[in-house]
Amino acid sequence: MRMGRDLDTVAKAIRAASISTDTRFLDIGRRLETSADILTALTRTFDTLSDEMKGDGLRLATQDLSQVARFVSALTPGGEAGSFRTLTALVTAIAGRLARMDKSIKGVGMLATNAKIAAAVIGDTSAEFMNFATEIRRTLGLAQASLDQFAAELAGVGRHLQAAAADQSALDARQATAIRTVPQRLAHSIGTVVDRGGRAGAIAATVGQRSQDIAKRIGLAVMALQVGDITRQRMEHVDYALGLVSDMAAQAGPLQPGGGAAAHEVATAAGFCCRLQAAQLDDTADELAQEIGQILTSLRDLARDALDILNLGHDAFGASGTQQGTFVGELEGEVAEVDALLQGYGAARRQADEVAASVSEATTRLARQIGTMRALEADIRIMGLNTSLRCGRLGTVGRPLSIIAQELRLYANEIAVEANGVMGELDQIAAIAASLSGQARDTGAADTAAMADIMTRSIARLGTAGQNLAAALQTLERDGETVVDLLRETVDRAAAHGEMGQVLRQAATDLALLAPGPHMGDIPARAEPLIAQMARSYTMARERQVLDRLAPGKNQAPAAMPGPAATADDLEDIFF
């Protein structure tokens, strides 16, 4: 019969749709399972972030930073630059004295020349006075050499002090700015850690609640996914029912004379059964659309939850604004500035110590050289006094040499005055150099070094915590983006199941076209046995409801149907 062929065509379409249903819902199930695993991992990662915030690393680091902040707040720019300027001024003053001493020594040299000329005309005693002139020149040479050596070393000390004073002034200016700003910024950063810690605790509770919501939504999605197995079974039941109708039509055979009534009964029974199966297919499509809607809602909610967790992670642990990384990275920048400040103080302290040591050594050498100058000045004074006494005995002839001797004593007095002044200024230099490395400064340097050690320890702790937070945040971002993309793809694939509904409704339309006539009325007698067999195959409540609507009173408890039925393995596939 033609009806048999038409029924076979519809049955083949239903069987193909049944196979596609299994494949598609299994794919959705696997995607949902993967998404659930990643979402669970997200909550664990968030727990890791929260635990890191509550760990000893950040707590001890912030304690150390608080101690350093108090220390830096109490710091004031050092007095090294002022000391260096004072030393430079003293060196300049000594240089002026050296210039005057040099002028006096050159004056002595001219007197020595005049003395030699005057001694040449004295007569018998000229040899003695010639020795006087020669001795003056010898002493003069020693004094000039000592003065030149003194001046050269003093010039080196002066250049060293000028460079040190300039460097120290620039360093003090930078440090003065840092001292005003860094403690406040560091205190702000410490407050940020405390604030982020409190925020992390609150967010952790929120994420915990979200985790429960996620579990519920996954459960709803899993339950809704049973529609895949239900749809497959209902299509198999329709396929089975169409097979019964096809068999009935085939057994009727070709029409015989007088068999018109029998053929009509078969056609009527087949039409009723086709209308029943069309109704089953329409209801199956309705149920599929309803459950797919539930699945889509759950998937979209899950995607939103994943995005929320990702955003919460950024809010709690990410850097501020558009910066990358974690907020600890920003704190490390603040800490690095404080560390640079402390290192700068240490460098200034070492420079001051080096300059102080250099100046102390130079002062000792200069003091020895000034001692030599004073000894030579005494020799010149004595020579002038002796010459004056001898010239007094010579009368008018010795008068020129007597005048030279008096002037020699005047130059000696000038040299003595300047030498005494140099010694006084060298004593001041020695005192300042000693103050640059005094006990109080040594204690301050030790405190600075101790704070630098604390900073180093704090930076190490922040680095470890920052790396841990950064790694966890990267995991959160990667997994969050992955699950959001996966869930969105799953939504798209689930939404594509509208095609399945179209197949079911088309099959229902095709069956309805095979059963023209009224849709209501008594069950044809010839259809009774078929309806009974169909009723025993119905395992779904909605199938029996459709049967009750079209064939009241024919609903029977389901029995093992001849066709394939859902197995535990099938359900396990659906439930992952």
Which tens digits make up the pLDDT trace of 537-549? 999 899 999 999 9
State which of 111-120, 214-223, 272-281, 371-380 shows the largest mean pLDDT.
Answer: 272-281
Residue whose token pair is 């109490």: 74
Lowest mean pLDDT among 7-11, 131-135, 450-454, 473-477: 131-135
pLDDT of 438 strictly over 50: yes
Q: For residue 529, what pLDDT band results from cuts at 50, 70 and 90?
A: very high
Distances (CA, A) of 215 to 59, 207, 210, 307, 418: 34, 12, 9, 16, 96
Distances (CA, A) of 494 to 26, 300, 576: 11, 11, 16
Q: For residue 496, what pLDDT band results from cuts at 50, 70 and 90?
A: low
Mean pLDDT score, 502-518: 84
Q: For residue 454, what pLDDT band results from cuts at 50, 70 and 90?
A: confident
Percent of the chain with pLDDT over 70: 84
**Count of positions (residues) in the chain:** 576
pLDDT of 78 strictly over 60: yes
User: Which tokens go with 477?
Assistant: 């971002």
Residue whose token pair is 């393995």: 569
Residues 50 and 175: beta-carbon distance below 8 Å: no
- Residue 245 and residue 252: Cα distance in Å, rounded? 11
Mean pLDDT score, 461-478: 78
Q: What is the pLDDT, as a whole number, of residue 437?
A: 65
Query: Which has more pLDDT, 195 or 132?
Result: 195
pLDDT of 435 strictly over 70: yes
Q: For residue 234, what pLDDT band results from cuts at 50, 70 and 90?
A: very high
Lowest mean pLDDT among 42-51, 236-245, 288-297, 321-330: 321-330
- Rounded to the nearest 10 degrees, what angle do helices 126-252 and 260-317 cross at? 170
Q: What is the pLDDT, as a whole number, of residue 443?
A: 63
- Return the H-helix or E-strand segment holding 181: helix 126-252
pLDDT of 383 strictly over 60: yes
Residues 13 and 507: beta-carbon distance below 8 Å: yes
The residues, ordered by sequence, that sit 6+ positions from 404 with a Cβ below 8 Å of its Cβ are: 111, 114, 115, 118, 387
- Residue 488 and residue 303: Cα distance in Å, rounded? 7
Q: What is the DSSP letter of 527?
A: G
Q: What is the pLDDT, as a whole number, of residue 398?
A: 64
Q: What is the pLDDT, as a whole number, of residue 544?
A: 93
CA atoms within a 13 Å half-sphere pointing along the CA-CB vector of 138: 8
pLDDT of 575 strictly over 70: no
pLDDT of 444 strictly over 70: no
Q: For residue 576, what pLDDT band results from cuts at 50, 70 and 90?
A: very low
Kindly report the number of other CB atoms within 10 A of residue 334's CB atom: 19
Query: Which has more pLDDT, 176 or 505?
Result: 505
Q: What is the pLDDT, as a whole number, of residue 393?
A: 64
Q: What is the pLDDT, as a whole number, of residue 277?
A: 93
Q: For residue 280, what pLDDT band results from cuts at 50, 70 and 90?
A: very high
- Residue 40 and residue 46: Cα distance in Å, rounded? 10
**Secondary structure of residue 310 in the 3-state scheme:** helix
Mean pLDDT score, 107-122: 75
Mean pLDDT score, 302-310: 80
User: Is 511 exposed, middle or buried, given 0-12, 13-18 or 19+ CB atoms closer than 10 A?
Assistant: buried
Percent of the chain with pLDDT over 90: 10
Query: Which has more pLDDT, 483 or 132?
Result: 483
Query: Which has more pLDDT, 560 or 44?
Result: 44
Mean pLDDT score, 475-483: 81
Q: What is the mean pLDDT of the chain?
A: 78
pLDDT of 191 strictly over 70: yes
- Residue 442 and residue 421: Cα distance in Å, rounded? 31
Residues 345 and 174: beta-carbon distance below 8 Å: no
Mean pLDDT score, 240-258: 74
pLDDT of 96 strictly over 70: yes
Mean pLDDT score, 352-372: 79
- Rounded to the nearest 10 degrees, what angle do helices 126-252 and 399-436 cross at? 20
Residues 476 and 45: beta-carbon distance below 8 Å: yes
Q: What is the pLDDT, as a whole number, of residue 284?
A: 92
pLDDT of 28 strictly over 70: yes
Q: What is the pLDDT, as a whole number, of residue 282?
A: 94
pLDDT of 561 strictly over 70: no
Mean pLDDT score, 68-78: 77
User: Which tokens go with 128?
Assistant: 């003695």
State which of 225-239, 302-316, 554-568 shows the largest mean pLDDT.
Answer: 225-239
Residue whose token pair is 């070094």: 449
